[in-house]
Amino acid sequence: MDKVTEIESTSRASFAPEQFRFNGNGAEYFGIWIVNLLLTIVTVGIYSAWAKVRRLQYFYRHTELAASSFDFHGSPIRILIGRVIALAMFIGYNYSLRLHSRLTILAVLALAAVLPWLLRNSFRFRLYNSSWRGTRFHFRGSVAGSYRVFLLNGFLTLITLYVMAPFMHQRLKAYQHDNSWFGRTRFSFHARAGQFYLIYLLLLLAIAVFVFVINKSGILGALTAMSQAQKHGGHVDPRAIFRTLLILYGALILTGILILPIFHALITNLIWGNTRLAEHRIECNMSPLVLIWITLSNFVLVVLTLGLFIPWAAVRLARFQLHAVRMFPASDLQEFVSAEPETVGAVGEEAASAFDFDISL
Amino acid sequence: MLQASYFNGRSSRVRAVNLSVAGEDLVVAGEDIDLRVPFAKVKVDERLGRAPRRLRLEDGAFCEVRDLNALDDLLSAIGHRDGLVDRMQRHSQFVLFACVVFVIVAFAAYKWGLPWAAAQGARHLSPAIGKTLSAQALKVLDDGIFTPSMIAEGHQHALSAAFHALRQPEGGTPNSALLFRRSPQMGPNAFALPDGTIIVLDDLITALGDDQQTLAVLAHELGHAHGRHGLQMLLQSSATGAFLAFYVGDISPLLAAAPAAVLQARYSQKFEQQADDYGAALLLHNGMSPGLLADALEKLTALQPAGSMGGYLASHPSTDERMRRLRLLAASLPAK
């Protein structure tokens, strides 16, 4: 590992921590959102690439660190090309799944073979097109590393029945963050697998409590009893079945709203709190309780407004998440140096998102 | 004079500068900076909310301006005009207009656009796709909740023969396969698969206890097969699912699933009516009364505990209304 930290500490004086800020506002974003939506529908989806750029630009440019905002530079045309390729792959993949033949296995194998490469490209595209103060980010993870993280670890996770999942998560984040650069300054990742296991254990515990409560409440018992009664010729009011299912679905949503935010807050705090940019420390203090409140209220308001609250919900969430992050500069943030320009395609990012891989940065 | 921050694109150093206009040039002046750039070479980023706006010079250098209104004055002085979309998304009246148009377009697409597209799609889709889908659905059902029929073989043959002898209003006899299956979980039921195959469950045959009425129900199912309702439903639900995922996907994938089912329900009522109409026409064409279908529906309703909707009728809403229509048809057009 070569140490290319081009930071010239001009003085040894301590530097005040810098808070990330998000200055977006729901009403403003609503205008962008609705125009994006309308143009995307009118152009049968073609505009969605431009919509994506505008959305990301809105969020990046309203995110500030040390009184300077971030920027997104991705080209809509590249994103569109990426989307077309992703769509073609998606259709091909789904079609071959329907066929139930040797072709299906072939398609799954082909997908497994290209996916790590696509995901690496998507990291590259996203980072290369992000900048702060005119200096771009970069992702320099190797292709071999990507296959190791996604294929080898993925395989290990499967054969160990997900016991390795927290380890795999740690390896993935290490691959992403250790290979990220800001200009010519490198990020590094320091969270250990044990810390991931602790948080996953908590998640498992919460799920176990949920299953226990569901069992105790007798909902599943009632469902089995009803299906048994039907099997033996008895008649069961279908509305009773519907009611029980509704309770179960509601409980599931409630769990999603309660447990997932806790997990998300803890794991994000761990990941960013253990990421450094050269010797500049980062700290992330997301409160799980506040995140639960935001998720719950966003959910209710989006449902009640048939989706029109979405822009406000997105802005609220972004503000909360970004305001939880602080940077502790070890030296002057003025002196980051940019790297040589390179060009990176968008195929990876778009293909990856079409196959539903939500990789949060 | 307009205050701005200058970045050279090679380092993260901020330099305070003043922007001004001199003839055809933009003048950038500040600590160790003194640039004159022709307007033609300056690329102006669009105004997004209250985010600082950037004037891009060459080689990745740019000026960042926070006083957006003062920048607008400077830009209009040099004759710069913001892009169309840029102006649209900031114009409150246009945003309101977009809102209204979006609601109208969404409603029209749901009410007319999607059914039309699904009907076209179902008509032009290769029959092989319907066959593959049906074969898979049948395999899943056979492995899961279906068991072989326990209706006597002679009875099955008689029903099959009567079914295949039906003359269709559009000419010819049904080329749909008729399959017999048993499934206590599904109760008295019959349905059409996407390729037109019709499955009738034992409970329906025994509950009706009248082969003429069973044939009437099969005529209704032929209506579904004739209208390719299965494929249309499939296409419609994929399209609504995709749209909802796109619409709320930003926030929560959890939200996308539930409303799709609600949106779907309305379409199925329309298909039931169409299938009833086709079934009635087919019955009349064969010298039978549409009242037979109404009788069958009545019997199935009576089987259910009061107030509940299960079995065959759960997937066939507003039974009273349907029986009324069918009886009206039977009364006005007596069987030949």
Q: Which stretches does DSSP call E strand in chain A?
A: 18-19, 21-22, 63-65, 68-72, 130-132, 135-139, 180-182, 185-189, 275-277, 280-284, 325-328
pLDDT band with cut points at 50, 70 and 90 for residue A306? confident
Asked if the Cβ–Cβ distance from B95 to A237 is below 8 Å, we say no
Provide the token pair at B61: 């250098």
pLDDT in tens, B32-63: 888 888 888 888 988 888 899 999 988 788 99
Buried-state track B217-235, b at ≥16 Cβ within 10 A, e below 16: bbbbbbbbbbbbbbbbbbb
A323: closest CA among A24, A80, A119? A24
Query: Can you tell me the distance from the alpha carbon of A180 to that of A275, in angstroms, rounded to the nearest whole number?
Result: 10
Residue B90: in which H helix or E strand, if any? helix B84-90
B64 domain-assigned: yes
Tell me which long-range contacts A124-129 makes (C-beta under 8 A, separation of at least 24). Answer: A124/A344, A124/A348, A125/A74, A125/A78, A125/A82, A125/A344, A125/A345, A125/A346, A125/A348, A125/A349, A126/A74, A126/A349, A126/A361, A127/A180, A127/A181, A128/A342, A128/A344, A129/A72, A129/A73, A129/A74, A129/A344
| Span of A174-178, B77-81, B174-178, B252-256 with lowest mean pLDDT | B252-256
Interface of B with A in 138-197 (CB under 8 A): 184-185, 187
Picking from A34, A237, A338, the nearest residue to B99 by CB comes out as: A34
Question: B331 or A4: which carries more pLDDT confidence?
Answer: B331
Other CB atoms within a 10 A radius of the CB of residue B237 amount to 16
**Dihedral angle sign, alpha carbons of residues B148, B149, B150, B154:** negative
Residue written as tokens 């301590």? A14
Question: A203 or B333: which carries more pLDDT confidence?
Answer: A203
Query: Can you tell me the distance from the alpha carbon of A262 to that of A241, in angstroms, rounded to the nearest whole number?
Result: 32
Please report the DSSP string for A228-270 in residue order: HHHHTT----HHHHHHHHHHHHHHHHHHHHHHHHHHHHHHHHH
Average pLDDT, integer, range B304-316: 49
State residue A326's pLDDT score. Answer: 94
How large is the ipTM? 0.72
pLDDT band with cut points at 50, 70 and 90 for residue A349? low
State residue A226's pLDDT score. Answer: 61
B276: closest CA among B236, B232, B321, B234? B321
B105 domain-assigned: no
Which residues from B are below 8 Å from A313, CB to CB?
251
Query: Can you tell me the distance from the alpha carbon of A63 to that of A130, in angstroms, rounded to the nearest whole number?
Result: 12
pLDDT above 90 as % of chain A: 35
3-state class (DSSP) for residue A65: strand
Domain match, B73 and B129 both: no
Domain match, B133 and B214 both: yes
What single-letter DSSP state applies at residue A64?
Answer: E
State residue A100's pLDDT score. Answer: 62
B115 domain-assigned: no
**Phi/psi of residue B327, nearest 5 degrees:** -65, -40
A256: nearest CA partner in chain B: B254
Q: pTM of the predicted model, to two decimals?
A: 0.76
Please say which residue of B52, B83, B114 terminates a domain.
B83
Please say which residue of B83, B117, B148 terminates a domain.
B83
Provide the token pair at B295: 């009788």
**Phi/psi of residue A27, nearest 5 degrees:** -65, -40
Domain match, B215 and B154 both: yes
B101 domain-assigned: no
- β-pairing, A275-277 with B178-182? unpaired
Per-residue CA distances from A19 to A323, B164, B170 (Å):
7, 77, 74
Question: Taking 50 as the threshold, does the pLDDT of residue B307 lie above it?
Answer: no
- Tell me which residue range forms the domain holding B267: 125-332
Domain match, B78 and B129 both: no
B308 domain-assigned: yes
Per-residue CA distances from B257 to A163, B242, B252 (Å):
30, 10, 10
Question: Taking 70 as the threshold, does the pLDDT of residue B10 lie above it?
Answer: yes
**Dihedral angle sign, alpha carbons of residues B293, B299, B303, B308:** positive
B147: closest CA among B193, B192, B190, B185? B185
Query: Can you tell me the distance from the alpha carbon of A303 to that of A250, in angstroms, rounded to the nearest whole number?
Result: 14
State residue B170's pLDDT score. Answer: 85
State residue A172's pLDDT score. Answer: 93
A318: nearest CA partner in chain B: B251
Query: Can you tell me the distance from the alpha carbon of B93 to that of A140, in angstroms, rounded to the nearest whole number?
Result: 46
Question: Taking 80 as the threshold, does the pLDDT of residue B305 lie above it?
Answer: no
Question: B306 or B261: which carries more pLDDT confidence?
Answer: B261
Query: Can you tell me the distance from the alpha carbon of A310 to that of A317, in angstroms, rounded to the nearest whole number?
Result: 11
Question: Taking 50 as the threshold, does the pLDDT of residue A54 lie above it?
Answer: yes
Interface of A with B in 84-143 (CB under 8 A): 98-100, 132-135
Question: A227 or A288: which carries more pLDDT confidence?
Answer: A288
Interface of A with B in 228-287 (CB under 8 A): 230-231, 233, 235-239, 249, 253, 256
Question: Taking 60 as the threshold, does the pLDDT of residue B28 lie above it?
Answer: yes
Question: Taking 70 as the threshold, does the pLDDT of residue B334 lie above it?
Answer: no
B100 domain-assigned: no
B206 Cβ under 8 Å from any chain A Cβ: no
B134: nearest CA partner in chain A: A98
Domain match, B206 and B264 both: yes
B248 domain-assigned: yes
State residue A309's pLDDT score. Answer: 92
Picking from B60, B136, B251, the nearest residue to A313 by CB comes out as: B251
Please say which residue of B21, B56, B83 terminates a domain.
B83
Tell me which long-range contacts B328-332 makes (C-beta under 8 A, separation of at least 24). Answer: B329/B280, B329/B290, B330/B280, B330/B289, B330/B290, B330/B291, B330/B294
| Span of A49-53, A333-337, B249-253 with lowest mean pLDDT | B249-253
Domain match, B77 and B139 both: no
State residue A84's pLDDT score. Answer: 81
Per-residue CA distances from A12 to A9, A19, A106, A342 (Å):
7, 21, 60, 35
Task: Collect all residues with Cβ–Cβ distance below 8 Å to B66 and sequence separation of at least 6.
Answer: B3, B52
A86: closest CA among A345, A331, A332, A320? A345
Q: What is the dihedral of CA B215, B216, B221, B223, to 10 degrees?
A: 120
How far from the centroid of its chain's Cα atoms is residue B3's Cα?
52
Question: Taking 80 as the threshold, does the pLDDT of residue B255 lie above it?
Answer: no
**Phi/psi of residue A235, nearest 5 degrees:** -110, 130
pLDDT in tens, B160-218: 999 999 998 888 888 888 999 998 777 788 888 888 889 998 888 988 888 899 999 99
Q: How far apart are the first and last CA of chain B?
A: 94
A100: nearest CA partner in chain B: B136
pLDDT band with cut points at 50, 70 and 90 for residue A219? low
State residue A284's pLDDT score. Answer: 95
pLDDT band with cut points at 50, 70 and 90 for residue B24? confident
Beta-bridge partner residues of B22: B25
Query: Can you tell me the distance from the alpha carbon of A323 to that of A22, in angstroms, rounded to the nearest whole number?
Result: 7
What domain count does chain B have?
2
Is the distance from CB of B280 to CB of B324 less than 8 angstroms?
no
B243 domain-assigned: yes
What single-letter DSSP state applies at residue B112?
Answer: I
pLDDT in tens, A144-203: 999 999 888 888 888 888 888 899 999 999 999 999 999 888 999 999 999 999 999 998
Is the distance from CB of A125 to CB of A344 less than 8 angstroms?
yes
Domain match, B76 and B129 both: no
State residue B264's pLDDT score. Answer: 60
CATH number, residue B71: 2.30.29
Domain match, B136 and B261 both: yes
Picking from A71, A99, A302, the nearest residue to B248 by CB comes out as: A302
Residue A137 gets the label, from left (phi > 0), alpha (psi -120 to 50) or beta, of beta
Question: Taking 50 as the threshold, does the pLDDT of residue B256 lie above it?
Answer: no
Domain match, B163 and B311 both: yes
State residue A266's pLDDT score. Answer: 95
Q: How far apart are the first and last CA of chain A?
A: 23
Residue B190: in which H helix or E strand, if any? strand B190-192
Domain match, B245 and B155 both: yes
State residue A358's pLDDT score. Answer: 28
- β-pairing, B178-182 with B198-201? parallel
Q: Mutate which of A135, A223, A298, A317 to disrupt the B interface (most B C-beta within 10 Å)?
A: A135
Domain match, B269 and B161 both: yes
Domain match, B202 and B278 both: yes
Which residues from A are below 8 Å from B62, CB to CB?
134
